[in-house]
Structure 1
Amino acid sequence: MRQTAKMHNMMHSDSCYPVINLTSRLYFGSFENKKETDKHLRIIYLFIEDFVNYAKFSHDFGPIDISATINYLRLVQTTLDKFNGSMVVIASCDSSEQRLNAAVIAGAYLILYERMPLDVVYRILTPIPVAYTTFIDASDDETAWRMDLKSALSGFAIGFQYQFFSMDTFDTFKHDSYGRVEYGDLNWIVPNKLMAFACPVTLPHVLGYAPNSTTKLAMLFVHLKVSCVVQTNEFGYNPSDFTKFDIEHHHLFFPDMTPPPDEIVLKFLKLCLSCDSIAVHCKSGLGRTGSLIACYMMWKWKLPAEACIAWLRLARPGSILTTQGHWLIHKCRSIQELTQSDIDNNNVDKLSGPIIIAASPLSARRVNSPIKSATITATLAAKDKKAKSKKKGLRKI
């Protein structure tokens, strides 16, 4: 008993906030200085900075994507199993951003391994009135919706509940590979139903990578059993590049960095009802693409918009930009209440009504101009070479 008390005192020393007990031997804490695991392995610190990283689009910093999170959580569980006499700490350094990322990972462990409900997990992670910061999106728009801890955790909750992934079978190598520019820049959001990908490239050479031509992607889609492509950006290739492979192509254009018009939402939902597997793209496969996919998730499973956005950002970091988050939240109930008849008959009136896009009162950062999709694609592709030398973490675009 005295030894246990001593270990707790060791763990709490140098901590920025009270260390939180997650399970009998698992803890979560943030520390002013990096703490080393003692030679007797009484307390094993697994600092997230040593194992995962987030490839920024702009000023965003997370959440850590599903693949890197699963790799880290598997490490945590293996450590607990192997060193059954040790305490294990999911740890971060003294940074509000890293503390939030670590809290999300800690909460994900409780949801995925301990099968705890979201509300219970949130109470465990917030035992004292010390506010966590919030996630910002991949634009520089200060009015964009900001995702808090509970919303981020809801992404894991719905992902697990609706079997968008499995801890036992999720292939992190395949997920990361397909997410790379040179291998498709694509991610399944709803497995075997809805895929997000970046616009095919017709240039002969893009920042050192072989381009994702329509032909290259079409052959990959045949392999992945994709039956339909939905394009939301301007025409930049011939749709026949897909249709000649017996893949349907539908053009549902709406402007970059904006939410979809009601007519587009209904057309997309109708396609989701008629097509087995759909690959959706805009310029970078983030904003417009994510917005439409979120609409289907809200309608199909009556899910909250916040949870859909969270899952999209876990499956494909950077998804949902600027006003799209607020729009999804305000439009959620209207979309959930659509009947199949409304969709079949293009009942736009069911979705009509004023949508108030509220400014986020939590943002205090300086505003530049919203980052454009083309900028996102080019910036991340340029950073990719540097990222290759780092430890494996997030999807490298």
Structure 2
Amino acid sequence: MTANTAVEIIPNKLYWISDKSPPRNQKNSFYFCIDDELVYQPFCNDFGPLNLGMMYKFCVELEKLVKPSANTYKIYHYTSLNLQKRSNAAFLMGAFQIVVLKKSAKEAWSPFTILPPFIEFRDAGYGGCTYKCSVYHCLRGLEKGIELGWFNYQKFNLQEYEFYEKVENGDWNWIIPGKILAFASPSPEAFDESGLKMWTPEDYSTLYKRIGVTAIVRLNNKTYEAERFTKNGIRHYDLYFLDGSVPSDNIIQDFLRIAETEKAIAVHCKAGLGRTGTLIGIYVMKHYNFPAPDFIGWIRICRPGSILGPQQQFLIEIESSCKKWKIEGKKSKSKLIKSEENKYSMSPEEHYVSLNGDHGQAERLLSAKKSNQSSPSTPLMPNKSPSPNRASSQTPNSPLKPKTQASNIFSKNSVRNITPNLARSIYSRKSYILK
């Protein structure tokens, strides 16, 4: 099959196509394109997958269009031949099938296997990347997350998710709702050198006590006094290891002990991406039988940029050890054994970083995220306290005011070949999805 072959998702109703130009003059049909509506914000050379909020927007809006009562037209989700856009568009359509049509990841991906291969996602690092995260891995991670109750389509709070992922609003995300969240290192001061509002330990303490977090785990250098958490009734642990590197056996066992003892923990390194995601991944593999490639897909959907460089191969290598630890129970003293069957072997550069770290990596990631989020538009501030049962959250004190205007992600510029009546039906709807 060629790249521009239309893939049938719902017989005689919904199709997916990638081509140099949109499908035109198709009888009783129209197409939409979200290539410029839902856009990944890169840290460096990474380009996806699109995050949980964007995926949710896509599913909600497309679900409206494919309802039997909505129209009798064939719908084409069109994407260009840009390799990066093509992979993200395929991920969205696969996610729609899993979330809305209740298909398995294997069933959702099956229609795409007749097409030329899709470019695989890479990490957010600045060096080379030998590990590749496929669209299928991301779909399997999403499927597993739904199976475990970590994403609930009916209860997901988009406003909370979009609000708290921003640097000035705490920069944090649930990875295991109600159990483990990832966040960037708290700031010792309320504002950074550019005047951007930053969250201090006191800001986090107020919120975390409300949502049931009982302990903080710090993985980076000391930048604030632990007492700023403990005096507010939140325990604090230090498990330092080098930025960009992989954790030692002792660090891993200490982290597992903490996570298994505390009710809910908030984990951070400098950026809350690499070291943080790696240790959370080890806990998840041990306790939930979550394959490493699928977890890397899941955490990047929840918190883009997570797990970098050699940390990717490291999780693949130790997956079998994590499963063994679960069988042995909490008192396991088995040493870490790396699998010899890892097809994603580290490059010499990655092996060096795994031992010696990547100095300055976290600062580069934070700088990129601040730059990406410097847009004047701000998501709606939540009105309720965040629920630990949602992959989202809430802030204590913020000067932001709620937006009242919402808009459809399928903008008039993205939809074509629509009859006047169908156009009116699409744009007359009041959508609660925010841009």
Q: TM-score, normalised by structure 1?
A: 0.86
Note if contact 1:338-1:350 (Cα within 8 Å) is conserved in structure 2: no
Q: CA 1:264/1:342 → structure 2, altered by over 3 Å: closer, same or farther? A: farther
User: In 2 relative to 1, CA 294–353 (structure 1 residues): closer, same or farther, beyond 3 Å?
Assistant: closer
- Native 8 Å contact 2:320 2:339 kept in 1: no
What letter corresponds to residue 373 of structure 1 in structure 2? A
1:325 pairs with 2:312: yes
Partner of 1:382: 371
Alpha-carbon shift at residue 200 of structure 1 (Å): 0.6
1:33 aligns with 2:26: no
Q: Does 1:351 align with 2:336?
A: yes
Counterparts of 1:1-397 in structure 2, within 5 Å, are 16-24=3-11, 25-34=13-22, 42-81=28-67, 83-128=70-115, 130-206=116-192, 207-339=194-326, 343-344=330-331, 347=333, 349-352=334-337, 358-359=345-346, 372-386=361-375, 388=377
**1:58 and 1:371 in contact (8 A); partners too:** no
Q: Distance in 1 between matches of 2:48 and 2:186?
A: 26
Q: Distance in 1 between matches of 2:114 and 2:337?
A: 42
Task: Quote how far apart the aligned CAs of 1:354 are.
Answer: 7.4
Give the direction of change, closer, same or farther, for the CA distance of 1:62–1:370 in structure 2 (3 Å limit).
Answer: farther
Secondary structure of the structure 2 residue equivalent to 1:350: coil
Structure 1 gap ranges (5+):
1-11, 361-368
Q: Is this contact kept in 1: 2:167–2:369, CA < 8 A?
A: no
Shift of 1:380: 1.7
Cα deviation code 1:247-306 (max 9, x no counterpart): 110101111111211111111111111111100000000000000111111011111001
1:311-339 deviation line (CA, Å, top 9, x unaligned): 10000000000000100011101111104
The one-letter code matched in structure 2 to 1:61 is F
For residues 375 and 240 of structure 1, the distance between their equivalents in structure 2, rounded to whole angstroms, comes to 28
Distance 2:38 2:360 in 1: 25
- Residue identity opposite 1:26 in structure 2: L
What runs of 5+ residues in structure 2 fail to find an aligned partner? Answer: 348-357, 380-406, 410-435
Distance apart, 1:370 and its partner CA: 8.4
Distance in 2 between residues matched to 1:132 and 1:340, nearest whole Å:
37
Deviates more, 1:255-264 or 1:27-36: 27-36
With over 3 angstroms needed to count, the CA separation of the structure-2 counterparts of 1:342 and 1:166, relative to structure 1, is closer
| C-alpha deviation, 1:43, in angstroms | 2.1
Pair 1:159–1:338, CA change in 2 (3 A): same
- TM-score, normalisation: structure 2: 0.79
CA, structure 1 residues 124+215, in 2 after alignment: closer, same or farther (shift >3 Å)? same
Distance across 2 between alignment mates of 1:233 and 1:303: 26
Residues 27-72 of structure 1, C-alpha deviations (whole Å, 9 max, x = no match): 111121255798x9x3232212243111110011000011111111
Percent of aligned pairs with the same amino acid: 26
- Whether the 8 Å CA contact 2:120–2:135 is kept in 1: the answer is yes
1:363 paired residue number: none
| Other-structure match for 2:427 | none
Distance 1:149 1:100, change over 3 A: same
* Cα distance change, pair 321–370 in 1 and its aligned pair in 2 (3 A): farther
| One-letter identity of the residue aligned with 1:28 | W
Q: Distance in 2 between matches of 1:174 and 1:322?
A: 30
Task: Sort the Cα spacing of 1:282 and 1:301 in 2 relative to 1 into closer, same or farther, 3 A.
Answer: same
Q: CA deviation at 1:91?
A: 2.1
